[in-house]
Every structure is written in structure tokens, then in C-alpha cells.
């Protein structure tokens, strides 16, 4: 960063003016820490953001892709991924009481910051009691870039082991589009039928994106 005045370098600017005054690239430059021979940390940060497609897309950027950016080695990639995960966790405040899921909005507010933005599809279930209070959250499968495997057997086995009366399943779409696919709709039908047989209610199936979701219940599919 030899071409940037000392007082305008991201770390010095943060100390002088506060983190809220820094741009996305400047905040990322502070996390990265140092640059490369052809440019400083700010240049590396700009390249990382370009590779990701913007700061919001960092949640879906694979470590392998990060390490392809010139100036980003294993240590820098680890810092970036850790910072993204810390940011995610600031949105998930500890609950004094068990969360209760009476509406799709309740479920969306709980699930989006935890599972909404990932580079691969992840399928899980909220296991609930008869009053729709959370007993446990189970992540049941992690798929590839555009596919995740889920089977009613795994869902309801976890429900029975936990003594759950109700399940709410969810998965994310790495594409950022929460519109359910035909496979999502078919899986929902199988889960509903399996739950009816064993006496565990399927409350909803949420498809998550970054900041949006689709509820199968709201769509009239449950």
C-alpha cells in the first residue's frame, strides 16, 4: 500500500475513524492483513470481492476458490472464512427460552442467518415438541454445488430419537433463488406422507436463500 497515504490505509483509518467508515474492500483488507508484491492488501481484497461477486457472496465462496486469488494463501483464506462465520454468528443471538415456531416467519427469522447462505446445499430439520418449541436442530446432509440428498428415513429417525412430535425441514439453494424445484416439492410430499404414517407432523419445508425463503406451507403444499 505504498501508494496510499498512511492515514488512509484501512487499518489506520479504522483506528482513526471507526470500522463503520470503511468500505467493504477496506474491511476485507484489514482481515487479509498484507498484500502481494504487485499490490497491497487493498488490491487483494478487491480481487477477492471480484471473485466472489460482492461482499454478500463471500458466504458462498469456497476455500479453494479463495486460494486461487493472487496473494491469498491458506492463512489469508482461513482469516476470511473465519471473519465471515463470525459475522454470521453475530446474527444468531443466544435464546433465553426455547424458540417457538408458530408461523413460517418465525422459522425464516431463525433459519436464514444460520443456514441461508452456503456454497453447497445443506438439508436439516428442526425437531419440535407438541407446542412447536425447539428440541434440537439436526443437519442431516451436505450436498454438492447444486444437489443434496435427503430421505424421510433420516428425518424421522432423528425425530423419534429426540421424542419430537413435529418436524420442520429446511434446505438452502446455493444459487440464491429460493423458488422450490420439482424435486423439492416431491420430497415434501414424501415427507408429509411418511410423517402421517408414523405420527410425526411435518409442519413446513423452508427453502432458504441469502435473505429470502419460500415456505411450502404458505404455498399450499402441506
Residue 10: per-residue pLDDT: 74
Query: What's the pLDDT score for residue 147?
Result: 55
Backbone angles phi, psi at 42, to 5 degrees: -65, -40
Same fold, 6-90 and 104-215: no
pLDDT, tens only, 26-53: 888 888 887 677 778 888 888 888 888 8
Residue ranges in the chain modelled with pLDDT below 70: 1-8, 35, 92-95, 144-149
pTM comes to 0.69
**pLDDT of the residue at 18:** 77
Query: What span, in angstroms and rounded, lies between the C-alpha atoms of 73 and 86?
Result: 20
What's the pLDDT score for residue 34?
76
Distances (CA, A) of 155 to 4, 131, 151: 55, 19, 7
Q: What is the pLDDT of residue 7?
A: 44
User: Domain map of the chain by residue range?
Assistant: 6-90, 104-215
Query: What CATH topology corresponds to 104-215?
Result: Cytidine Deaminase; domain 2 (3.40.140)
The CATH architecture assigned to 6-90 reads Orthogonal Bundle (1.10)
Amino acid at each position: 500500500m505504498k501508494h496510499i497515504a498512511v492515514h488512509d490505509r484501512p487499518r489506520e483509518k479504522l483506528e482513526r475513524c471507526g470500522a463503520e467508515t470503511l468500505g467493504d474492500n477496506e474491511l476485507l483488507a484489514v482481515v487479509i492483513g498484507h498484500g502481494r508484491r504487485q499490490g497491497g492488501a487493498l488490491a487483494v481484497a478487491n480481487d477477492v470481492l471480484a471473485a466472489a461477486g460482492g461482499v454478500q457472496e463471500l458466504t458462498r465462496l469456497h476455500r479453494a476458490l479463495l486460494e486461487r486469488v493472487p496473494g491469498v494463501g491458506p492463512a489469508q483464506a482461513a482469516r476470511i472464512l473465519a471473519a465471515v462465520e463470525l459475522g454470521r454468528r453475530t446474527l444468531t443471538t443466544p435464546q433465553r427460552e426455547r424458540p417457538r415456531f408458530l408461523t413460517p416467519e418465525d422459522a425464516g427469522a431463525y433459519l436464514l442467518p444460520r443456514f441461508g447462505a452456503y456454497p453447497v446445499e445443506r438439508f436439516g430439520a428442526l425437531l419440535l415438541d407438541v407446542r412447536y418449541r425447539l428440541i434440537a436442530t439436526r443437519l442431516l446432509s451436505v450436498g454438492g454445488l447444486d444437489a443434496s440428498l435427503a430421505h424421510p428415513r433420516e428425518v424421522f429417525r432423528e425425530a423419534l430419537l429426540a421424542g419430537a412430535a413435529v418436524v420442520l425441514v429446511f434446505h438452502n439453494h446455493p444459487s440464491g433463488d429460493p423458488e422450490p424445484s420439482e424435486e423439492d416439492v416431491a420430497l415434501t410430499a414424501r415427507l408429509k406422507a411418511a410423517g402421517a404414517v408414523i405420527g410425526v407432523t411435518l409442519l413446513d419445508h423452508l427453502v432458504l436463500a441469502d435473505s429470502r425463503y419460500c415456505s411450502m406451507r404458505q404455498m399450499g403444499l402441506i
